[in-house]
Chain A
């Protein structure tokens, strides 16, 4: 597997750095890397990819999380090559919603998806994605037009949404939405055509065959090994890391892993304090991050950290992730009836923001953030109970 050393002359082996350092990148594919900002000395610029934009601060490539409010809090978006860890709320209601927004954003932008879950079939997850609001003015008309596209009267029906007449009939979604970050209607399902037009890979743990990787037993939980192999395979086969000479990929791979760390993955980190596989999850995160850093991909992970018994492990996991966002919903807690919180469904804690390619990071001044879910909007705002001079209402 020629996954090694297409870019960068350094090798992991001892002492050969001097010899290999003189080998410069002579492959035709000059991968600038997910964090390339134009400061490297040679190589062509990265072709612009749908659904990405360079960061204002350092030119790093960003994608939207699917929630424009969250994008703003994270400094413009999620950097390509990083991991967004969502600490689930107690009943996994809002974290799974954020997960779905992320995937829906991938479909709307034409990114490739990789959905991994141990408890839900990825095909079902995709069916439940929220419908995008593609254009504020014509959204209702456009929805009707999508379903009427096959009929010959479609020319007449297109009257209101006249600009869509010029578009090729089969292509929807990626062509009509060039914005960064979209809004979704949580009460409607995503149109079937969008799912069928998108490229996605599913990893449903109960269906996978035993792995062939020769790793010493119990080094990593079986489920994690299979998932890592799967992800690495997709990245290599589809050319997201530029090492496959046959494939020249200029698209983003969005990886979504649901409920990582739960017992369904075979991990006992949520059951006991010092189990056998206590470092399985951290090793998984480490290797995953290594895969992400060397490819055009971005990953969202939801994790039931409230179940993890050993609190030191949560600190390790936080250090091994790039962005960590914690959700705390008010359902079932005494805060539900607290007048201070009556406008909100929960609190959102930005626990960690990375300093990538920079000494400083885009830490927002605001630390007390509440969220509420309305039908078409997931808003995050300063809690009105606390004194604030301007409410950051996105």
Chain B
């Protein structure tokens, strides 16, 4: 986790809020550093994490996690982390006939399917196991990323349904958190993606949006992060709070600064 981002979000692993949906969004840049942040944050907070990693392999997250101070292999071995490696599972489900529904069953289907098997997987992974379990604080579902599901043929509605079920189970029933990443296609007209993004934005409590700079590539400032706190259930008379920072990604951390205050510029 990045200590500077914790300060900006006003949280620490000890006293994070529960029952929240956080939406990570990136436009014209790579927002995966936010995923690494939340993964290490919740592992350090002693939560039980179910990570649906659809876009990269386990070793990728493991190596970056080690730079951020968490050991994913050990977390997985002691049961704190349940890792669904999308790429590896896709090969399994595609080349071998499955007896029971596989979380990525939709890859074999012709028509736009639904994500019920994936939801069953998540629910099974995060359900509280008896009293003998080493006490994890609360469950967390992390998905990287949802846009991959759209590009593999699922409809935006199917993905929204999946998130709805996950929220009902993880956020409301189990008092945990859900963090998802969606790519913003920007000016490319991707209707399904826009539906998904808008739908999730309405439901989220916290939106972190990483954007590339409008002026193009810069070596010292990699992008801009917009943080938006929302209260979806309460009345809209209260204004949502929004902050914008610029950031630079380094080898082991990310540094944030106010707009125009990059150390390279000053």
Contacts and interface: CB of A to CB of B under 8 A. Distances in A.
Interface of A: 1, 3-4, 8-10, 12-15, 17-18, 21-22, 33, 35-37, 39-41, 58, 213-219, 228-229, 232, 278-279, 282-283, 286-287, 289-291, 293-294, 311-317, 319-320, 355-361, 363, 365, 367
A291 B108 CA distance: 16
Nearest to B96: A1
B217 interface: yes
B85 interface: yes
Given A10-B58, A279-B153, A357-B59, A290 B91 contact: yes
Contacts of A35: 57, 59-60, 63
Given A12-B88, A315-B188, A359 B64 contact: yes
Interface in B175-205: 183, 185, 188-193
Given A12-B92, A286-B148, A287-B90, A360 B249 contact: yes
B58 A216 contact: no
B239 interface: no
B138 to A, nearest CB: 18
A218 B91 contact: no
A290 B88 contact: yes
A14 B217 contact: no
B151 A359 contact: no
A8 B219 CA distance: 37
Nearest to B78: A21
Interface of B: 30, 32-33, 36, 55-60, 63-64, 66-67, 73, 76-77, 79, 82-97, 100, 102-104, 107-110, 120-121, 124-125, 147-148, 150-153, 183, 185, 188-193, 216-217, 219, 249-252, 254
Looking at chain A's contact residues, the main secondary structure is loop
Contacts of B217: 363, 365, 367
A153 B18 CA distance: 83
A214 B152 contact: no
A9 B73 CA distance: 10
A282 B151 contact: yes
B149 to A, nearest CB: 10
Contacts of B58: 8, 10
Contact of A17 (B57, B83, B150, B185): B83
Contacts of B32: 355
14 contacts: A3-B96, A12-B93, A12-B103, A13-B100, A21-B79, A33-B59, A40-B59, A219-B108, A283-B107, A293-B87, A315-B188, A316-B150, A317-B151, A363-B217
A3 B148 contact: no
Given A14-B120, A219-B108, A312 B87 contact: no
A17 B76 contact: yes
The 4 nearest A-B residue pairs measured at CB: A316-B151, A279-B153, A12-B89, A312-B190
B94 A14 contact: no
B85 A10 contact: yes
Contacts of B121: 14-15
Contacts of A317: 151
Contacts of A219: 107-110
Contacts of A37: 63
Contacts of B63: 35, 37, 39, 58, 357-358
A282 to B, nearest CB: 5
A14 B88 contact: no
B107 A17 contact: no
A367 B103 CA distance: 40
A87 B84 CA distance: 31
Given A35-B57, A355-B32, A359-B33, A12 B153 contact: no
Contacts of B76: 9-10, 17, 21
B151 A319 contact: yes
Given A10-B83, A39-B66, A293-B87, A4 B189 contact: no
Contacts of B152: 279, 282-283, 286
Given A218-B110, A282-B151, A315-B190, A15 B125 contact: yes
B73 A291 contact: no
Nearest to B77: A21
Contacts of A279: 151-153
A190 B190 CA distance: 45
Given A217-B110, A312-B188, A357-B59, A17 B82 contact: yes
A164 to B, nearest CB: 41
A1 B97 CA distance: 11
Nearest to B217: A367
B251 A294 contact: no
A51 to B, nearest CB: 22
B196 to A, nearest CB: 12
B210 to A, nearest CB: 13
A365 B96 CA distance: 45
A57 to B, nearest CB: 9
A275 to B, nearest CB: 12
Nearest to A216: B110
Nearest to B127: A15
B59 A286 contact: no
A315 B28 CA distance: 11
Given A215-B94, A312-B190, 12 more contacts: A1-B96, A12-B88, A15-B124, A213-B95, A215-B108, A216-B109, A217-B110, A290-B91, A315-B185, A315-B188, A319-B148, A359-B36
